Amino acid sequence: MPHVEMRTEIIVTPGESTKRLDHFLANRDPYFSRTALQRLILESHITVDGQSVKPSHKIKPGDRIVLTVPRPEPIEIEPEDIPVEVMYEDEVLLVINKTAGLVVHPAPGHWSGTLVNALLHHMVQREGNLSNIGGKERPGLVHRLDKDTTGVMVVAKNDQAHRSLASQFKQHSIKRVYEAVVWEKPKANQGRIALAIGRDTKDRKKFSARTTRPKESLTMYRVLERFGKCASHLELIPGTGRTHQLRVHLNSLNCPILGDATYGGKKVMAVQDIVVPRVMLHAKVLGFVHPATQKELLLQAPLPLDIVGVMEGLRNATSTADRRSTERNEK
């Protein structure tokens, strides 16, 4: 089967500032890296007003940019015998407790060893199928969790279930509760974070309020426990489902999630001499209306041992520090 050609046409708007062509396209469409865009420009797959140009070409309002490039064939995903903790399963859906370090679907750098590979193996064992709406690379996936995030995920076995669940996510009627251990502590014990975010204009791997395409996003938080002044244990309820939303919102409070070097830097990788093994974020609760029975289904996954271990370490370190402070005051 021949590759399908993808053609995109962009007219530069009057409000757009003058900038390099490769920078403009990289900020606009995260599908391609800047290096890939530069190669496409040099190979004349990207033109401006019908002319071949250089990556450094300065675009201006009214320019007509055309990108023509063949789409690669979808890869064939092989089933792999990777352990998956099943929390609930019936004929139309599957709910799992995702482990840390597991990439959800195949992508550059992770063509195997993903949750999708594990799900395909799981379904082969049961002679079943997954929904096809997400395409060959994302069978059954209605939503996703980041590689280092643990917790509850729902997977659709047929297209009807997929559409029902996707609609609930879109309407924000899904019940979702997360827990996180964060740097220092919020000023208030509870609150809401309303911050529009999108892909960062300077670092396309990150999301922030510094973006050309802000999307409204909302997170409610509540402090469950404070570990002195160095860290806190929070409950998080997302009102929307933007990429990296919880990580970006907590960083906006100057309370990045421990272990999240992308948004918190090196300081969040170890606290009170306690090494943080990964992003301390866990999807604890997922509730939704079952696509077939129309009954509410609520699943809950306990905090994984690595997060519990970090919290115990912080608790002990805080207790020791408080005891030493009391002893000094008594002298």
Q: Is residue 199 domain-resident?
A: yes
**Same domain (yes/no): 23, 58:** yes
- pLDDT tens digit string along 173-187? 999 999 999 999 999
Domain identity same for 138 and 211: no
The question of whether 146 is a catalytic residue gets the answer yes
Total of domains in the chain? 3
Same domain, 163 and 234: no
3 band by pLDDT with thresholds 50, 70 and 90: very low
Domain boundary among 126, 150, 171: 171
Position 319 pLDDT exceeds 90: no
Q: Residues 6 or more apart from 91 whose CB is under 8 A from it?
A: 157, 292
- Is there a single domain that holds both residue 258 and residue 176? yes
pLDDT in tens, 12-70: 988 787 889 998 888 776 566 677 788 889 988 899 999 999 999 999 999 999 988 76
Same domain, 302 and 230: yes
If asked whether residues 155 and 224 sit together in one domain, one would say: no
Last residue of a domain, one of 139, 171, 203: 171
> What pLDDT, on the 0 to 100 scale, is given for residue 30?
59
Mean pLDDT in residue range 279-289:
98
Pair 31, 57 in one domain: yes
Q: Domain ends where: 171, 197, 232?
A: 171
DSSP annotation of 27 = H
Is residue 81 in a domain?
A: yes
Tell me what pLDDT residue 1 has: 37
Residues 161 and 176 in one domain: no
Q: What is the mean pLDDT of residues 234-253?
A: 97
Residues 148 and 204 in one domain: no
Residues 197 and 313 in one domain: yes
> Does residue 269 have a pLDDT over 50?
yes
- For residue 28, the model assigns a pLDDT of 76
Instruction: With respect to residue 331, please indicate whether it lies within any of the assigned structural domains.
Output: no
Residue 140 near residue 156 (C-beta atoms within 8 A):
yes
- The pLDDT > 90 percentage for the chain reads 72
Could you tell me if residue 236 is inside a domain?
yes
For residue 241, being part of any structural domain is answered with: yes
Output the domain CATH number for residue 179. 3.30.2350.10
pLDDT score recorded for residue 34 = 75
110-113, Cβ contacts within 8 angstroms, sequence gap of 24 or more:
111/75, 112/78, 112/80, 113/80, 113/82
Query: Which pLDDT belongs to residue 304?
Result: 98
Does residue 29 lie in a domain region?
yes
For residue 25, the enclosing domain spans 5-70
Q: Is position 113 within any domain?
A: yes
What is the pLDDT averaged over residues 199-210?
90
Distances (CA, A) of 284 to 204, 238, 243: 29, 12, 18
Query: Is 192 in the same domain as 149?
Result: no
The DSSP code sequence of 184-202 is S--SSSEEEEE--BEEBSS
Asked whether residue 61 falls in the same domain as residue 153, the answer is: no
What average pLDDT does the structure give for the chain?
A: 90
E strands present in the chain: 5-11, 19-20, 46-48, 51-52, 58-59, 64-70, 85-89, 93-98, 150-156, 175-183, 190-194, 198-199, 207-208, 218-227, 231-238, 270-271, 274-275, 281-289, 296-300
Model confidence at 238: pLDDT above 70:
yes
CB 206 within 8 A of CB 253: no
Q: Write down the pLDDT at residue 177.
A: 98
Token pair 């053609």 is found at 7
What's the CA gap between 130 and 140, in Å, rounded?
5
How high is the pLDDT of residue 205? 86
Residue 56 inside a domain? The answer is: yes
**pLDDT, tens digit, 9 for 90 and up, residues 57-98:** 999 999 999 988 766 555 688 999 999 999 999 999 999 999
pLDDT category at 327 given cuts 50, 70, 90 is very low
> Cβ distance 219 to 171 under 8 Å?
no
Catalytic residue among 146, 148, 203, 260: 146
- Return the CATH number at 45: 3.10.290.10
